[in-house]
Amino acid sequence: AGSQIQGTAGIPRRSRRRKSVAIAYEPGQGDGAEPRRARWEPRDWREQLERIREMRRSRDAPVDEMGVQKCYDSGAPPQVMRYQVLLALMLSSQTKDQVTSAAMLRLRRRGLTVDTVLQMDDETLGQIIYPVGFWRNKVKYIKQTTAILKQKYGGDIPSTVEELVQLPGVGPKMAHLAMHIAWDSVAGIAVDTHVHRISNRLKWVKKETKHPEETRVALEDWLPRDLWKEINWLLVGFGQQTCLPVNPRCSQCLNQDICPAAKRL
């Protein structure tokens, strides 16, 4: 989806302090660098991943048909599309894709832009987005974030994870997905409850993690970077259809014989 909107209007350049970047040397590189030990990686992960790809081949999970990448107006100007992506992500938190998609459609019928949302009173916005999860809080966050976008970013959305997570109601998962979808940029792995749960079930983390952010750090430590963008889409759909939160459908899973958490009958 992100590639559809990468022809973007320029954002006024903002001065940023240059950050120092630590350089990790490969074995044998650098001045007297010690050879690095082989990086930890999970057992059977390549085969597990390939089987998940096979199970997701039909692309018929709710995330495929009604996910955030399907919620924005692909005919709108790039800046408007990016704003709509961010709003869809904010609405999607603790909300089913079907409910988010319907709310976005109602918003878009009113002409979903920074200006139209700023002109909308809180009660009207609440009526439109209801019944998304925590809709009252989201009304407040949407209004606050939209005002910041208007004042600080000329109506566009920030183009870095660091700036995105500073916006009210925007967490790390949303920020990484916004980078993927809106900016066609891979800054990290977007970890939601599905990715968090499945990563722990498959033992794709060295030790059990309690929170999605811990899981993101653990995955980024070993998962090849060229897979970072794909992994969210794969695991979310897999989690919606097969590896369910309660009563996972292990008997229908191609990984049943190599999954540490599988129920084997």
CATH of the domain at 77: 1.10.340.30
Q: One of 138, 143, 173, 229 is an active-site residue; which one?
A: 173
Q: What is the pLDDT of residue 263?
A: 82
Q: Distance (Å, rounded) from C-alpha 206 to C-alpha 237?
A: 24
Query: In the listed set 185, 214, 233, which residue is the last one of a domain according to the structure?
Result: 185
Domain that holds residue 226: 43-58+188-264
Residue 88 included in any domain: yes
Q: What is the pLDDT of residue 6?
A: 40
Query: In the listed set 185, 210, 240, which residue is the last one of a domain according to the structure?
Result: 185
Instruction: Spell out, as residue ranges, where the chain has pLDDT lower than 50.
Output: 1-30, 265
Query: In the listed set 157, 185, 213, which residue is the last one of a domain according to the structure?
Result: 185
Q: What is the pLDDT of residue 124?
A: 97
Q: What is the pLDDT of residue 35?
A: 55
Q: What is the pLDDT of residue 3?
A: 38
Q: What is the pLDDT of residue 27?
A: 44
Active site residue 173: yes
Residue 38 included in any domain: no
Same domain, 220 and 199: yes
Same domain, 181 and 77: yes
Q: What is the pLDDT of residue 38?
A: 78
Same domain, 176 and 238: no
Task: Give the pLDDT confidence of 227-239 residue by residue, as tens digits.
Answer: 999 999 999 999 9
